[in-house]
Amino acid sequence: MVILEVRDVSLQVNSSLILNHLSMEFQAGYVQAVVGPNGAGKSTLASLIMGLPDYRQHTGDILFEGQSIKNLNVDERARLGITLAWQEPARFEGLKVSQFILAAAKNKDKKEVDRVLEMVGLEPARYRSRGVDKTLSGGERKRIELASILAMKPRLVLLDEPDSGVDIEAIDRIFEAINHLKQDGSTVVLITHSPKVLEKTDYAFLICHGLLVDQGETTKIMEYFRGKCLPCPHQNVPEFNSATASGGRR
């Protein structure tokens, strides 16, 4: 079943076309990736799906469970069960970890805080009273943000560069949390340019310069990371011609 459809979406910012007639269908209950090089438009797409103010002036449509959400604001999309975890997690001075997790949790029992912290590999006694601030490392903040998402039990989770700025232990815990989300019935979309992250997904979309270049099973898209670049009409590569169309490399 399709839970999210991006239908012929284009977005222009300051005369630059960031997304170019993108159409994608994300299947419910799977871990899927949007991959591509830096500047391809991946994070822009995530922000647009979430409905952030600077990304609302797009053409085309966004459908969630078959209904258009194009005119809904961030809060309204969140109430439908859509959430976005940014590449750089936010800090909240004066807010304790337990308060942060329970703010959007479906189960407001304090035992829920301990449960989700343990799921991301953080000892509850050490973290529940910590501040969500600069005293936490980047990896700790990412894991705490994932703990809050686990407590939230969203329908759709967008994770922007989940492995950015974290150590090996943290990324392993993040992958475990992603598996928990899938087991709980959440659909997970990973925004990434990392082969390690891509390996953890069921399906992937490859975009470049705002264009959808290819899509398919993870093993197919993994070829992109092995030096086999796919043909696309990117303005910074040699002119698109019959040689590239037949499988030439750039």
Asked whether residue 182 is domain-assigned, the answer is: yes
The CATH number of the domain where 11 resides is what? 3.40.50.300
Summarised one tens digit per residue, pLDDT across range 206-247 is 999 899 999 999 999 988 766 655 555 555 443 333 333 333
Instruction: Name the domain count of the chain.
Output: 1
Distance CA 5, CA 15 (A): 26
Does residue 61 carry a pLDDT above 60?
A: yes
In degrees, to the nearest 5, what angle opens at C-alpha 43 toward C-alphas 40 and 48? 115
**pLDDT tier at 250, thresholds 50, 70, 90:** very low
Distance CA 58, CA 52 (A): 12
Q: How much is the pLDDT for 244?
A: 34
Asked whether residue 153 is domain-assigned, the answer is: yes
Burial (CB count <10 Å: 0-12, 13-18, 19+), residue 19: buried
DSSP 226: G
Asked whether residue 103 is domain-assigned, the answer is: yes
Asked whether residue 226 is domain-assigned, the answer is: yes
Tokens of 213: 């270049």
Asked whether residue 250 is domain-assigned, the answer is: no
Q: How much is the pLDDT for 249?
A: 32
* Selected residue with higher pLDDT from 37 and 18: 18
Query: Domain containing 39: what range?
Result: 2-245
Asked whether residue 228 is domain-assigned, the answer is: yes
What is the pTM for the complete model shown? 0.86
List phi, psi (to 5°) of 116: -75, -30
**Cα torsion angle, 112, 113, 118, 120, sign:** positive
Tell me the angle at which helices 138-152 and 111-119 cross, rounded to the nearest 10 degrees: 120
Average pLDDT over residues 13-35: 94
